[in-house]
Structure 1
Amino acid sequence: MGTRLAVETVNKADRKNDIQNRLKRIEGQIKGLQRMIDEGKGCSDILIQVSAVKAAVNRVGILIFEEHSRGCLMDALGREDDGALDTLIDLMNRFLGSNISTGKIERD
Structure 2
Amino acid sequence: MSDHHKHRKSIVNRLARIEGHVRSVKDMAASDRDCGDLLIQLAAIRSALDNCGKLILKDHLEGCVVEAVKEGDDKVMDKLNDAIDKFIR
TM bucket by the smaller chain? 0.7 to 0.9
Counterpart-to-counterpart distance in 2, 1:67 and 1:90: 16
Correspondence for 1:74 among 66, 74, 77 = 66
Which digits, 9 at most, give the CA deviation of each residue in 1:9-33, with x for residues without a partner? 4x72xx2221111111111111110
Q: TM-score, normalised by structure 1?
A: 0.68
Structure 2 stretches of 5 or more lacking a match?
none
Counterpart-to-counterpart distance in 1, 2:73 and 2:9: 30
**SS where residue 40 of structure 1 aligns?**
coil
Structure 1 stretches of 5 or more lacking a match?
1-7, 98-108
Which residue of structure 2 aligns with residue 106 of structure 1?
Answer: none
5 Å-filtered alignment, 1:97-108, equals: 97=89
Which residue of structure 1 aligns with residue 76 of structure 2?
Answer: 84
Correspondence for 2:16 among 9, 24, 27 = 24
Correspondence for 1:45 among 12, 20, 37 = 37
* CA-CA distance at 1:44 after TM superposition: 0.5
Report the count of equivalent residues: 87
Identity of aligned residues (%): 34
For the pair shown, the structure with the greater C-alpha radius of gyration is 1
**SS where residue 33 of structure 2 aligns?**
coil
Q: TM-score, normalised by structure 2?
A: 0.80
Establish whether residue 57 from structure 1 lines up as the match of residue 61 from structure 2. no
* CA-CA distance at 1:86 after TM superposition: 2.6
